Amino acid sequence: MNGVKTSIGEIEWRTVALGVFIYFGWIMVTLWHADLPWWAFSVVAAWFAAWQSSLQHEAVHCHPTRSETLNTLFAGWPLLIWLPYGVYRRQHLWHHRDGDLTDPTCDTESYYVSRDAWGRMGYIGQGLAWVLNTLAGRLVLGPPVIVTRFLWAEVGRVIAGEPEHRRAWILHIPAAALVVAWLVFVAEMPLWLYLVAVVWPGSSLMLLRSFIEHRAAAPIAERTAIVDRAWPFSWLYLHNNLHVVHHAVPRAPWYELPALYRARQAEISRDNGGYVFSGYGEVARRYLWRAKDHPAHPTI
């Protein structure tokens, strides 16, 4: 991606404006939840909560400011409740070591398991892994399974005294409590409704993006996908459907990714081994009921 200028100024006002819009939308839809059909509330609120997760991803990569503290204050609010921003930030930056992409022993965002772990999983565990490798399984069962596994692992890390995880949870718990207080006492919404109608589908929306982002391949350049013509999801994901570009230029702000992609489209498609999809409709047609690949990493 060399030769294409990226705007890394002190403050990216487009990202600030987007964040203000996202928070305003989430506040309004939670306040008016009782006046909306449950399904309309779920769709809109889950969209805004997932959109804010994409904003968090921008903050991890030093947007909209160069200040980690300001970015955390701006984007660190846990609208999906379960994921501490500090943990996500640490794990996602670790994930950007492209040489380890998809390695289940190193890549903190890999959905593969090692071959040794696969052999120990038993029929039920292996069956669940196969189901989660279909798009339907990832979207429906993924949130409770993945969140449960994540929280269980975090309990172990906190008990073990890992300082970065303890610090992340110390910051996360009061932030999540403020979100819950808003929902229960200001918006007068049952917490169970938010968990079922917003957190679950909002997490599913984010899992749609990560479902196809990476594959196990020997050449590093062929491990990361492009999902082209992905509107409206391209806006939800802030153009991270063009994931090869993001990994190549992780400091580029979301609004520059399409131009970076179009400038090198043919070269990118060639270099990543044709790991390109015409949209999430194609992803669904190919993998809704069929596993996209084997849950066990082919070489690790």
81 in helix, strand or coil? coil
Phi, psi (5° rounding) for residue 115?
-65, -35
Contact between residue 225 and residue 243 where contact means Cβ atoms under 8 Å apart: yes
Domain boundaries, the chain: 13-287
Statement: residue 290 has pLDDT above 70:
yes
Contact between residue 28 and residue 41 where contact means Cβ atoms under 8 Å apart: no
Statement: residue 229 has pLDDT above 60:
yes
Interatomic CA distance for residues 234 and 55, integer angstroms: 13
Question: If you average pLDDT over residues 278-291, what whole number do you get?
Answer: 98
Question: If you average pLDDT over residues 46-53, what whole number do you get?
Answer: 99
Interatomic CA distance for residues 101 and 272, integer angstroms: 14
Question: If you average pLDDT over residues 216-225, what whole number do you get?
Answer: 94
Task: Give the pLDDT band of residue 5 (cuts 50, 70, 90).
Answer: very low
Whether the bond between 104 and the residue before it is cis, its omega within 30 degrees of 0, is no
Interatomic CA distance for residues 218 and 209, integer angstroms: 22
Segment 156-195, tens digit of pLDDT: 999 999 999 999 999 999 999 999 999 999 999 999 999 9
Segment 260-275, tens digit of pLDDT: 999 999 999 999 999 9
Contact between residue 86 and residue 68 where contact means Cβ atoms under 8 Å apart: no
Mean pLDDT of the residues in the chain: 95
pLDDT at 10: 84
Interatomic CA distance for residues 9 and 1, integer angstroms: 19
Residue reference for tokens 């196809």: 212
Question: If you average pLDDT over residues 31-39, what whole number do you get?
Answer: 97
Statement: residue 147 has pLDDT above 70:
yes
Statement: residue 2 has pLDDT above 80:
no
Interatomic CA distance for residues 55 and 202, integer angstroms: 14
Higher pLDDT, residue 10 or 79: 79
Statement: residue 27 has pLDDT above 60:
yes
Quote the tokens at residue 140.
């429906």
Helix 38-60 / helix 200-213 crossing angle, nearest 10 deg = 50
Interatomic CA distance for residues 138 and 135, integer angstroms: 5
Quote the tokens at residue 47.
């969209």
- Measuring CA to CA, how many Å separate 108 from each of 116, 192, 209, 225? 18, 29, 16, 18
Phi, psi (5° rounding) for residue 23?
-65, -40
pLDDT at 3: 38
pLDDT at 4: 40
Q: Taking the model in full, what pTM does it have?
A: 0.93
- Measuring CA to CA, how many Å separate 140 from each of 132, 136, 145, 208, 209? 9, 6, 10, 10, 14
Helix 142-159 / helix 122-132 crossing angle, nearest 10 deg = 120
- Measuring CA to CA, how many Å separate 206 from each of 52, 171, 212, 236, 266? 10, 23, 11, 9, 27
Task: Give the pLDDT band of residue 122 (cuts 50, 70, 90).
Answer: very high
